[in-house]
Amino acid sequence: MESKLYKEIKDRFTEYLTEKKLRKTEERYIILKEICAFSGNFDINELYEKINEPVFHISKSTVYNTLGLLLKAGLVVSHQISTLSVKYELKRLAETHLHLYCTQCGMVRDVKNSNLKSFIYAMQTPKFTPEFYSLYVYGICWKCEKKLKKKVKNGNKKAL
């Protein structure tokens, strides 16, 4: 059974593929369905592993190419969180939150903030209409902070 979110995004993707005269392949729709199943950010490896868990096999290049089409269609957004990490998510999910990024372990957590959303959309910016916002807050998650404090307590000052 198709989720309402998947059906809506599938229809928009089909329109994009038709408009651009591109093939509507089973692989592209399988990739899209798996993307819609993520509740937040994902990277290319997580997506590839999730797709290839069942019996169906899709090449990594097909995953990259389809992700590129979804980015061009405006259905997925990318987040260059660090020099080593690119995360993706459905644009529809990206519109309402900010990202907390742990500089130690690379964990990314989404945080909803309606005050920030109101502020962004209330800004009077001449000749510019915001579509969505992306905010990254870099720091140390509680797990890594706990580890660092434990190392310092045990006399290992190299941890800092």
Q: What is the mean pLDDT of each run of 10 residues along the chain (160 residues)?
A: 87 97 95 91 91 81 96 91 80 76 85 79 79 81 91 66
- Provide the whole-model pTM: 0.73
Domain 1-94, classified CATH 1.10.10.10, yes or no: yes
pLDDT of res. 98 = 81
Where do runs of H (alpha helix) occur along 38-77?
A: 44-51, 60-72
Q: How far apart are CA 20 and CA 56, in angstroms?
A: 27
- Opening angle at CA 67, ends 133 and 29, nearest 5: 115
Domain-by-domain residue ranges, the chain?
Answer: 1-94, 97-160
Question: Tokens for 9?
Answer: 């995004």
CATH architecture of 97-160: 2-Layer Sandwich (3.30)
Question: Tokens for 14?
Answer: 């089909």
Amino acid code (one letter) for 60:
K
